Amino acid sequence: MTHVSERSGAGSSPTGAGGDRQPWTAGTGRPARKRTSYADAGVSIEAGDRAVELLKSKVKQTRRPEVMGDLGGFAGLFRLDTKKYKHPILASSTDGVGTKLVIAQQMDIHDTVGIDLVAMVVDDLVACGAEPLFLLDYIATGEVVPDKVAEIGAGIADGCRYAGCALLGGETAEHPGVLRPDEYDISATGVGVVEEGEILSSERVEVGDVVIAMRSSGLHSNGYSLVRHVLLGAGRMRLDVVIEDFGRQRTLGEELLTPTKIYAQDCLKLIAEAEVRVLAHVTGGGIPGNLVRVLPEHVDAVVNRSTWKPQPIFELVQSKGRIEDVEMEATFNLGVGMFAVVSAEDADRALATLTGRGVDAWQAGEIIEGTGNVQMVGQHTRG
């Protein structure tokens, strides 16, 4: 993060966070009297500076060769290597984490939601074939607690490392009176690049192509308002209760905070090794709502539910909330975080590539003649 909002490089007193005098002074010539400071309004410049200092080592780990300068400037600089591309196209994406943050705040665990944030952004970028280059984050909080902000930022930096992109800068904003001291919200914008002739689009999809599914790590970052309603509200479950079905003595809270799987580097490798037509990032709207976005009007995607078993968390949510199957399918990823549509000839190669990278992937369906719809067939295995 580059700086704390509403800060122009100076603190609320003539000395900065490090105790050095600022290179300017201001006075009115009026008699001294009790003065109101920014801190009196609930904003601590020093706390923000401390949070940035705590993050610097983590941010440096995300540095790419194209990054210019260091943290602390007014803008992040990134030298795009145009020699690598004939016709480079920039791609951008903005997202947040949603009410999963409420779980993190209730559990006082803040070092994983940053991974969720990066995943939501970079896996949208790679869906068009773009390599994520850099990310800018935004953290709004009721009170800047340096260690907490550093934990959030560390998760963002970890996510950027997994995605292969630089954490180029960002903003930390203190909003006293708007957010409670323990509340915060986060968002990010990412930028990627793809060769114009290699953009993944629905025009590439053909009848006979194979639909490959990549397993999710769980709920990812979608549907948490419904999850909180049925489990913590009406279900009156506690976050610290151990759920036997989750295994490894995992609590409900730990399961709900499982970080979102980041597929960006796996998908870029897949694109390099196989004929990938399109990628579909499964977020809000579930499998049919996202896969349909990459289909042309003359084909359908047939997805066979019997080819995989959703994680136990989905069955818990459905049973506790008495949620209809169609509602579950329209809200959650149900165990699949990313789809790749590949040519039939390259299906085995694609699966071998993903398996070699440790991605749990399988053939989940096929492309047939149709009208641009997703056909969900079969039933998930249970038990």
More confident residue, 9 or 85: 85
Compute the average pLDDT of residues 11-21.
36
The pLDDT, as a whole number, for residue 50 is: 72
Is 67 in a helix, a strand, or coil? strand
CA distance 27 to 93: 45
Buried b (16+ CB within 10 A) or exposed e, 130-147: bbbbbbbbbbbbbbbbbe
Q: Which of the residue ranges 52-61, 98-107, 114-123 would you say has the lowest mean pLDDT? A: 52-61
- Whether pLDDT at 131 is above 90: yes
Q: What is the mean pLDDT of the chain?
A: 89
Does the pTM of the predicted model rise above 0.85?
yes
> Which residue reads 């700086």 in tokens?
3
Confidence band of 39 (pLDDT split at 50, 70, 90): low
Confidence band of 8 (pLDDT split at 50, 70, 90): very low
φ and ψ of 75, to 5 deg: -150, 150
- Whether pLDDT at 16 is above 80: no
Residues in Cβ contact with 122 at an 8 Å cutoff, skipping those fewer than 6 apart: 93, 132, 135, 159, 163, 165, 190, 192, 262, 264
More confident residue, 112 or 10: 112
Burial class (CB in 10 A: 0-12, 13-18, 19+), 74: exposed
**In contact, 211 and 363? CB cutoff 8 Å:** yes
CA distance 1 to 164: 18
Q: Which of the residue ranges 80-89, 312-321, 352-361, 369-378 would you say has the lowest mean pLDDT? A: 80-89
CA distance 379 to 60: 47
> Which residue reads 């793809």 in tokens?
194
Compute the average pLDDT of residues 10-19.
34
**Hey, what are 165's tokens?**
């992109």
Maximum mean pLDDT: which of 37-46, 174-183, 205-214:
205-214
- Whether pLDDT at 132 is above 80: yes
Chain segment 308-330, per-residue pLDDT in tens: 999 999 999 999 999 999 999 99
**In contact, 214 and 340? CB cutoff 8 Å:** yes
Compute the average pLDDT of residues 45-73.
76
Is 110 in a helix, a strand, or coil? coil
The pLDDT, as a whole number, for residue 188 is: 98
- Whether pLDDT at 82 is above 50: yes
Confidence band of 59 (pLDDT split at 50, 70, 90): confident
Compute the average pLDDT of residues 32-55.
66
The strand pairing partners of 189, in sequence order, are 94, 136
The pLDDT, as a whole number, for residue 12 is: 33
Q: How far from 216 is each of 23, 160, 205, 291, 338, CA to CA, in Å?
A: 52, 18, 24, 15, 8
Compute the average pLDDT of residues 269-297.
97
> Which residue reads 């200092």 in tokens?
53
Nearest to 140 by CA among 93, 200, 82, 181: 181
